[in-house]
Structure 1
Amino acid sequence: MMLKALFICVASSLLVVNDGNIIHRCTLAKILYEEDLDGFEGYSLPDWLCLAFVESNFNISKVNENVDGSFDYGIFQINSRYWCNDYQSHSENFCHVDCQELLSPNLISSIHCAKKIMSGSGGMKNWVEWKLHCLGRPLSYWMTGCHLR
Protein backbone atom coordinates (compact mmCIF):
# COMPACT_ATOMS: atom_id res chain seq x y z
CA MET A 1 0.00 0.00 0.00
CA MET A 2 2.86 2.35 0.83
CA LEU A 3 4.39 1.73 -2.60
CA LYS A 4 1.07 2.59 -4.26
CA ALA A 5 0.83 5.83 -2.26
CA LEU A 6 4.40 6.73 -3.19
CA PHE A 7 3.68 6.06 -6.87
CA ILE A 8 0.59 8.29 -6.83
CA CYS A 9 2.50 11.09 -5.10
CA VAL A 10 5.36 10.90 -7.58
CA ALA A 11 3.02 10.59 -10.57
CA SER A 12 0.92 13.55 -9.50
CA SER A 13 4.07 15.59 -8.83
CA LEU A 14 5.08 15.04 -12.43
CA LEU A 15 1.78 16.56 -13.47
CA VAL A 16 2.83 19.94 -12.09
CA VAL A 17 1.95 21.59 -15.36
CA ASN A 18 3.19 19.61 -18.32
CA ASP A 19 0.10 20.90 -20.06
CA GLY A 20 -1.67 24.14 -19.21
CA ASN A 21 -4.84 22.16 -18.50
CA ILE A 22 -3.43 19.97 -15.72
CA ILE A 23 -3.64 21.34 -12.19
CA HIS A 24 -1.17 20.21 -9.55
CA ARG A 25 -2.72 18.04 -6.83
CA CYS A 26 -1.67 20.35 -3.99
CA THR A 27 -2.82 23.47 -5.85
CA LEU A 28 -6.21 21.82 -6.26
CA ALA A 29 -6.25 20.85 -2.57
CA LYS A 30 -5.64 24.48 -1.60
CA ILE A 31 -8.44 25.74 -3.87
CA LEU A 32 -10.87 23.13 -2.57
CA TYR A 33 -9.91 23.99 1.01
CA GLU A 34 -10.45 27.71 0.37
CA GLU A 35 -13.88 26.92 -1.10
CA ASP A 36 -14.85 25.09 2.13
CA LEU A 37 -15.05 21.63 0.60
CA ASP A 38 -13.18 19.87 3.41
CA GLY A 39 -16.02 18.18 5.26
CA PHE A 40 -18.72 19.35 2.82
CA GLU A 41 -21.57 16.82 3.00
CA GLY A 42 -19.23 14.59 5.02
CA TYR A 43 -16.49 14.26 2.40
CA SER A 44 -12.84 15.14 3.00
CA LEU A 45 -10.32 16.88 0.77
CA PRO A 46 -8.74 13.50 -0.05
CA ASP A 47 -12.15 12.36 -1.33
CA TRP A 48 -12.30 15.40 -3.62
CA LEU A 49 -8.73 14.89 -4.83
CA CYS A 50 -9.37 11.23 -5.54
CA LEU A 51 -12.54 12.20 -7.42
CA ALA A 52 -10.68 14.73 -9.58
CA PHE A 53 -7.92 12.23 -10.30
CA VAL A 54 -10.13 9.27 -11.25
CA GLU A 55 -12.49 11.42 -13.31
CA SER A 56 -10.07 13.67 -15.20
CA ASN A 57 -6.46 13.02 -14.08
CA PHE A 58 -6.58 16.63 -12.79
CA ASN A 59 -7.30 17.89 -16.32
CA ILE A 60 -9.38 21.06 -16.03
CA SER A 61 -10.36 21.05 -19.69
CA LYS A 62 -11.21 17.39 -20.19
CA VAL A 63 -14.36 16.72 -22.25
CA ASN A 64 -15.62 13.17 -22.73
CA GLU A 65 -18.46 12.01 -24.96
CA ASN A 66 -20.79 9.37 -23.53
CA VAL A 67 -22.63 6.65 -25.44
CA ASP A 68 -25.96 8.44 -24.87
CA GLY A 69 -24.69 11.53 -26.72
CA SER A 70 -24.18 13.61 -23.58
CA PHE A 71 -20.77 14.98 -22.58
CA ASP A 72 -18.84 15.16 -19.31
CA TYR A 73 -16.96 18.40 -18.63
CA GLY A 74 -14.02 19.56 -16.57
CA ILE A 75 -12.06 18.34 -13.62
CA PHE A 76 -15.07 16.58 -12.06
CA GLN A 77 -16.52 15.38 -15.41
CA ILE A 78 -19.94 16.97 -14.88
CA ASN A 79 -22.58 15.62 -17.26
CA SER A 80 -24.40 17.81 -19.77
CA ARG A 81 -27.63 15.79 -19.70
CA TYR A 82 -28.42 16.91 -16.17
CA TRP A 83 -26.08 19.57 -14.87
CA CYS A 84 -24.97 22.03 -17.55
CA ASN A 85 -26.06 23.31 -20.96
CA ASP A 86 -23.84 22.36 -23.89
CA TYR A 87 -26.34 23.58 -26.51
CA GLN A 88 -25.94 20.25 -28.33
CA SER A 89 -28.51 18.06 -26.64
CA HIS A 90 -31.40 18.32 -24.20
CA SER A 91 -30.21 19.30 -20.74
CA GLU A 92 -31.96 19.73 -17.43
CA ASN A 93 -29.17 22.23 -16.56
CA PHE A 94 -29.71 21.87 -12.82
CA CYS A 95 -26.55 23.91 -12.16
CA HIS A 96 -27.77 26.76 -14.40
CA VAL A 97 -24.37 26.95 -16.10
CA ASP A 98 -22.94 26.79 -19.60
CA CYS A 99 -20.85 23.59 -19.85
CA GLN A 100 -17.92 25.60 -21.23
CA GLU A 101 -17.72 27.41 -17.88
CA LEU A 102 -16.87 24.05 -16.30
CA LEU A 103 -13.59 24.16 -18.24
CA SER A 104 -12.45 27.43 -16.67
CA PRO A 105 -9.10 27.40 -14.82
CA ASN A 106 -10.61 29.27 -11.85
CA LEU A 107 -12.76 26.17 -11.08
CA ILE A 108 -15.51 28.18 -9.34
CA SER A 109 -18.31 27.04 -11.68
CA SER A 110 -17.12 23.42 -11.43
CA ILE A 111 -16.96 23.60 -7.64
CA HIS A 112 -20.41 25.19 -7.30
CA CYS A 113 -21.97 22.62 -9.61
CA ALA A 114 -20.18 19.71 -7.87
CA LYS A 115 -21.51 21.01 -4.54
CA LYS A 116 -25.04 21.00 -5.98
CA ILE A 117 -24.57 17.42 -7.20
CA MET A 118 -23.20 16.44 -3.77
CA SER A 119 -26.10 18.03 -1.93
CA GLY A 120 -28.59 15.71 -3.63
CA SER A 121 -29.04 12.09 -2.75
CA GLY A 122 -25.99 9.91 -3.18
CA GLY A 123 -23.24 12.46 -2.53
CA MET A 124 -20.04 11.39 -4.23
CA LYS A 125 -21.65 8.08 -5.11
CA ASN A 126 -23.14 10.00 -8.05
CA TRP A 127 -19.70 9.58 -9.67
CA VAL A 128 -19.19 5.97 -10.74
CA GLU A 129 -15.40 6.27 -10.88
CA TRP A 130 -15.30 7.58 -7.30
CA LYS A 131 -17.39 4.59 -6.16
CA LEU A 132 -15.09 2.17 -7.99
CA HIS A 133 -11.72 3.63 -7.00
CA CYS A 134 -12.11 5.81 -3.89
CA LEU A 135 -15.05 4.65 -1.77
CA GLY A 136 -14.03 2.76 1.35
CA ARG A 137 -10.32 3.11 0.69
CA PRO A 138 -7.71 4.97 2.72
CA LEU A 139 -7.22 8.28 0.92
CA SER A 140 -5.12 10.40 3.26
CA TYR A 141 -2.05 9.97 1.04
CA TRP A 142 -3.69 12.34 -1.50
CA MET A 143 -2.70 15.20 0.82
CA THR A 144 0.94 14.12 1.16
CA GLY A 145 3.22 17.13 0.80
CA CYS A 146 0.38 19.62 0.49
CA HIS A 147 0.46 22.67 2.74
CA LEU A 148 -2.85 24.47 2.84
CA ARG A 149 -1.79 27.63 4.63
Structure 2
Amino acid sequence: MMDCNSVMVLFALLGCSYAGTISKCDVVKALRAESVPDSDLRDWLCLVEHESSFRYELEHVNSDKSIDYGIFQLNNKYWCDRPTPVDTSKCWKFNTCGCTDTCTSLIDSDISNDAKCAVQVKNCNDFDEWYGWRDHCANVQSSEYDFSDC
Protein backbone atom coordinates (compact mmCIF):
# COMPACT_ATOMS: atom_id res chain seq x y z
CA MET A 1 0.00 0.00 0.00
CA MET A 2 1.30 3.45 -0.93
CA ASP A 3 1.45 6.30 1.55
CA CYS A 4 0.53 9.89 0.68
CA ASN A 5 4.13 10.90 -0.05
CA SER A 6 4.57 8.02 -2.49
CA VAL A 7 1.36 8.96 -4.30
CA MET A 8 2.50 12.59 -4.60
CA VAL A 9 5.86 11.51 -6.01
CA LEU A 10 4.10 9.23 -8.50
CA PHE A 11 1.85 12.06 -9.72
CA ALA A 12 4.83 14.40 -10.01
CA LEU A 13 6.71 11.86 -12.11
CA LEU A 14 3.71 11.24 -14.35
CA GLY A 15 3.29 14.98 -14.90
CA CYS A 16 6.94 15.37 -15.86
CA SER A 17 6.85 12.52 -18.34
CA TYR A 18 4.47 14.52 -20.51
CA ALA A 19 6.20 17.90 -20.19
CA GLY A 20 7.17 19.36 -23.52
CA THR A 21 5.05 17.10 -25.69
CA ILE A 22 2.47 18.07 -28.26
CA SER A 23 -0.45 16.11 -29.63
CA LYS A 24 -0.71 14.33 -32.95
CA CYS A 25 -3.56 16.68 -33.91
CA ASP A 26 -1.44 19.75 -33.15
CA VAL A 27 1.18 18.42 -35.56
CA VAL A 28 -1.47 17.73 -38.21
CA LYS A 29 -2.90 21.25 -37.76
CA ALA A 30 0.53 22.88 -38.13
CA LEU A 31 1.33 20.83 -41.24
CA ARG A 32 -2.06 21.50 -42.84
CA ALA A 33 -1.42 25.24 -42.30
CA GLU A 34 1.65 24.71 -44.51
CA SER A 35 -0.52 23.09 -47.21
CA VAL A 36 0.75 19.57 -46.58
CA PRO A 37 -1.61 17.17 -48.34
CA ASP A 38 -3.39 14.59 -46.19
CA SER A 39 -1.69 11.88 -48.25
CA ASP A 40 1.65 12.88 -46.64
CA LEU A 41 0.46 13.17 -43.03
CA ARG A 42 1.11 9.53 -42.07
CA ASP A 43 4.74 9.97 -43.13
CA TRP A 44 5.00 13.19 -41.11
CA LEU A 45 3.45 11.65 -37.99
CA CYS A 46 5.75 8.65 -38.23
CA LEU A 47 8.73 10.98 -38.70
CA VAL A 48 7.81 13.02 -35.61
CA GLU A 49 7.30 9.87 -33.55
CA HIS A 50 10.72 8.48 -34.49
CA GLU A 51 12.64 11.77 -34.41
CA SER A 52 11.26 13.36 -31.23
CA SER A 53 8.41 11.27 -29.80
CA PHE A 54 6.29 14.44 -30.14
CA ARG A 55 8.59 16.34 -27.74
CA TYR A 56 8.95 19.93 -28.92
CA GLU A 57 11.64 20.80 -26.33
CA LEU A 58 14.02 18.07 -27.47
CA GLU A 59 17.63 18.95 -28.28
CA HIS A 60 19.85 16.11 -29.49
CA VAL A 61 23.64 16.48 -29.76
CA ASN A 62 25.05 14.48 -32.68
CA SER A 63 28.48 12.86 -32.98
CA ASP A 64 29.68 15.80 -35.14
CA LYS A 65 28.65 18.17 -32.29
CA SER A 66 25.78 19.61 -34.33
CA ILE A 67 22.42 19.78 -32.56
CA ASP A 68 18.95 18.73 -33.74
CA TYR A 69 16.13 20.88 -32.35
CA GLY A 70 12.45 20.49 -31.68
CA ILE A 71 9.68 18.25 -32.78
CA PHE A 72 11.09 17.75 -36.30
CA GLN A 73 14.72 17.61 -35.08
CA LEU A 74 16.01 20.33 -37.40
CA ASN A 75 19.81 20.54 -37.40
CA ASN A 76 21.70 23.74 -36.55
CA LYS A 77 24.39 22.92 -39.09
CA TYR A 78 21.89 23.10 -41.96
CA TRP A 79 18.47 24.44 -41.03
CA CYS A 80 18.53 26.92 -38.13
CA ASP A 81 20.79 29.72 -36.87
CA ARG A 82 22.04 30.25 -40.40
CA PRO A 83 23.75 33.59 -41.00
CA THR A 84 21.82 35.10 -43.91
CA PRO A 85 18.05 35.47 -44.35
CA VAL A 86 17.15 34.36 -47.86
CA ASP A 87 14.29 33.91 -50.26
CA THR A 88 13.72 30.21 -49.72
CA SER A 89 11.66 29.77 -52.88
CA LYS A 90 14.67 28.22 -54.61
CA CYS A 91 16.10 25.02 -53.14
CA TRP A 92 19.74 25.96 -53.67
CA LYS A 93 19.22 29.13 -51.61
CA PHE A 94 17.31 27.22 -48.97
CA ASN A 95 19.95 24.49 -48.80
CA THR A 96 22.65 27.17 -48.45
CA CYS A 97 21.03 29.29 -45.77
CA GLY A 98 18.33 27.19 -44.16
CA CYS A 99 15.08 28.41 -42.67
CA THR A 100 16.44 31.62 -41.14
CA ASP A 101 14.86 30.65 -37.80
CA THR A 102 16.82 30.61 -34.59
CA CYS A 103 17.31 27.13 -33.20
CA THR A 104 15.82 28.16 -29.87
CA SER A 105 12.60 29.14 -31.65
CA LEU A 106 12.23 25.45 -32.57
CA ILE A 107 11.95 24.23 -28.98
CA ASP A 108 8.84 26.08 -27.85
CA SER A 109 5.25 24.85 -27.93
CA ASP A 110 4.41 26.96 -31.01
CA ILE A 111 5.42 24.55 -33.75
CA SER A 112 4.16 26.66 -36.67
CA ASN A 113 7.65 27.87 -37.61
CA ASP A 114 9.03 24.36 -37.08
CA ALA A 115 6.43 22.99 -39.49
CA LYS A 116 7.22 25.69 -42.06
CA CYS A 117 10.93 24.88 -41.96
CA ALA A 118 10.39 21.11 -41.98
CA VAL A 119 8.06 21.36 -44.99
CA GLN A 120 10.69 23.42 -46.82
CA VAL A 121 13.30 20.73 -46.06
CA LYS A 122 10.95 18.02 -47.32
CA ASN A 123 9.98 19.98 -50.44
CA CYS A 124 13.63 20.48 -51.42
CA ASN A 125 15.18 17.24 -50.16
CA ASP A 126 12.27 14.87 -49.51
CA PHE A 127 12.01 12.93 -46.24
CA ASP A 128 15.49 11.46 -46.76
CA GLU A 129 17.00 14.24 -44.60
CA TRP A 130 15.62 12.47 -41.52
CA TYR A 131 17.16 9.17 -40.36
CA GLY A 132 14.03 8.47 -38.32
CA TRP A 133 11.94 8.54 -41.48
CA ARG A 134 14.44 6.58 -43.60
CA ASP A 135 14.85 3.87 -40.95
CA HIS A 136 11.22 3.51 -39.85
CA CYS A 137 8.71 5.28 -42.06
CA ALA A 138 9.33 4.74 -45.78
CA ASN A 139 5.98 3.71 -47.27
CA VAL A 140 4.27 3.66 -43.89
CA GLN A 141 0.66 2.45 -43.98
CA SER A 142 0.16 1.82 -40.28
CA SER A 143 -3.14 2.67 -38.63
CA GLU A 144 -0.95 3.81 -35.73
CA TYR A 145 -0.56 7.07 -37.63
CA ASP A 146 -4.26 7.57 -38.26
CA PHE A 147 -5.24 11.23 -38.12
CA SER A 148 -8.93 11.00 -39.00
CA ASP A 149 -9.86 12.32 -35.55
CA CYS A 150 -7.94 15.55 -36.13
TM tier relative to shorter chain: 0.7 to 0.9
- How far apart are the structure 2 equivalents of 1:140 and 1:97? 33
Q: 1:133 to 1:68 in 2, by over 3 A?
A: same
Identity among equivalent positions (%) equals 31
Q: Which residue of structure 1 lines up, in the alignment, with residue 30 of structure 2?
A: 31
- How far apart are the structure 2 equivalents of 1:128 and 1:74? 15
Which one of the candidate residues 96, 103, 113 is aligned to 1:99?
103
RMSD: 2.6
Tell me the SS of whatever aligns to 2:71.
coil
Aligned partner letter, 1:117: V
| 1:18 shift after superposition | 4.7
| 1:94 shift after superposition | 1.2
- How far apart are the structure 1 equivalents of 2:115 and 2:74? 10
Tell me the SS of whatever aligns to 1:64.
strand
Q: 1:31 to 1:60 in 2, by over 3 A?
A: same
| Contiguous gaps of at least 5 residues in structure 2 | 1-13, 84-95
* 1:126 maps to 2:122: no
- How far apart are the structure 2 equivalents of 1:95 and 1:107? 14
Q: 1:109 to 1:32 in 2, by over 3 A?
A: same
| 1:32 shift after superposition | 2.4
Relative CO higher for 1 or 2, CA cutoff 8 Å, sep ≥ 6? 2
| 1:128 shift after superposition | 1.1
* 1:135 maps to 2:138: yes
| 1:126 shift after superposition | 1.1
Tell me the SS of whatever aligns to 1:44.
helix
- How far apart are the structure 2 equivalents of 1:93 and 1:64? 21
Q: 1:111 to 1:27 in 2, by over 3 A?
A: closer
Larger radius of gyration: 2
* 1:80 maps to 2:76: yes
Aligned partner letter, 2:144: Y
- How far apart are the structure 1 equivalents of 2:43 and 2:76? 23
Tell me the SS of whatever aligns to 1:130.
helix
Deviations 1:92-133 (A, max 9, x none): 641111100111211111111101111213x01111110110
Taking structure 2 as the reference length, the TM-score comes to 0.72
Tell me the SS of whatever aligns to 2:48.
helix
Aligned partner letter, 2:118: A
The structure where helix makes up a greater share of residues is 2
